[in-house]
Structure 1
Amino acid sequence: MSRGRSHTGGASHATRIAPRLSTERDLYRKKDSVTAHPAVQRAIDAANSGDTEGFLGSFTDEGAVDDWGREFRGREAIRSWSDEEFIGVDVSLAVTAVRQTGATVTVSADVGGRGFNGPSDFTFTVSGDRVSLMRITG
């Protein structure tokens, strides 16, 4: 998650995302929880708990991360990216909103940790019970 912003420490804050399936565009804002597809919940929960294996397991075999146009496809590429820029720098994602349209789920979050800090959007493409793509944008 390199975006040229200040790298200041942030407190780890995990927000629980409860499962919810929807085919309509939804926007949910709640004080302590935000609802999303179970595959997205697993990925966010794993990131917030520092669980690299759980994070990788939330992706399909050919899953990918697109971090501002830089694509990391497959388990080992995602692991390498995460070790350097995500879980490896103690990322925390305080989810503020979720929007879902069919198999596309966009999670807005305040990002903390020893890497990028600040608001960001994570757009997940879900395939079955796993994530096939996690695209990070602002």
Structure 2
Amino acid sequence: MNIIDIPAAIQTFVEATNRGDAEAFATAFTHDAELSDWGREYHGRDGVRAWDRTDNIGVQAHFALDAIEPGASSDTFVATLTVTGNGYNGTGPMTFRLRDGLIASLRIAP
């Protein structure tokens, strides 16, 4: 794993998913968060909760954080995660943009 400090919100994202804690998962995001999953768009915490139900905790997803590195700007990070569960299974990048210690946007795409 690349060694940098893992921002608390991203750590919460991973840990809440792995323990199936939907409320902790949602509160890792800002109220106006944007989530893009291969072009499917979700907005706000209600959108994050909807995605969580259909594509994450709702399908018993489990994350292993393989690497994390700084993104293109000081508030972005690219995490390489291996996902297992009853939905998507595989390894790929997730790009996080943080604001005020929370996830303001998450982009899942190659």
TM-score (norm 2): 0.90
CA distance in 1, matches of 2:99, 2:8: 11
CA distance in 1, matches of 2:80, 2:52: 19
Work out which of the two has the higher radius of gyration on C-alpha atoms and give 1 or 2: 1
Name the structure 2 match of 1:93.
63
Aligned-pair distance for 1:128? 1.3
Gaps of 5+ in 1: 1-26
Aligned-pair distance for 1:70? 1.1
CA distance in 2, matches of 1:35, 1:96: 13
Q: Would you say how many aligned residue pairs link Structure 1 and Structure 2?
A: 108
Aligned-pair distance for 1:111? 0.6
Look up the SS of the partner of 1:41 in the other structure: helix
Structure 1 position 109 matched with structure 2 position 81:
yes
**What pairs up with 1:49-128 in 2 under 5 angstroms?**
49-101=19-71, 102-128=74-100
Instruction: Give the ranges of 4+ consecutive aligned residues of structure 1 lying more than 6 Å apart after TM superposition.
Output: none
Name the structure 1 match of 2:2.
28
Q: Supply the RMSD in Å over aligned alpha carbons.
A: 1.5
Q: Percent identity?
A: 31
Aligned-pair distance for 1:59? 0.5
Aligned-pair distance for 1:71? 0.9
Structure 1 position 45 matched with structure 2 position 15:
yes
Deviations 1:33-52 (A, max 9, x none): x7411111111111111111
Structure number with higher helix proportion: 2
Q: Is the 8 A contact 1:36 1:105 kept in 2?
A: no
Gaps of 5+ in 2: none
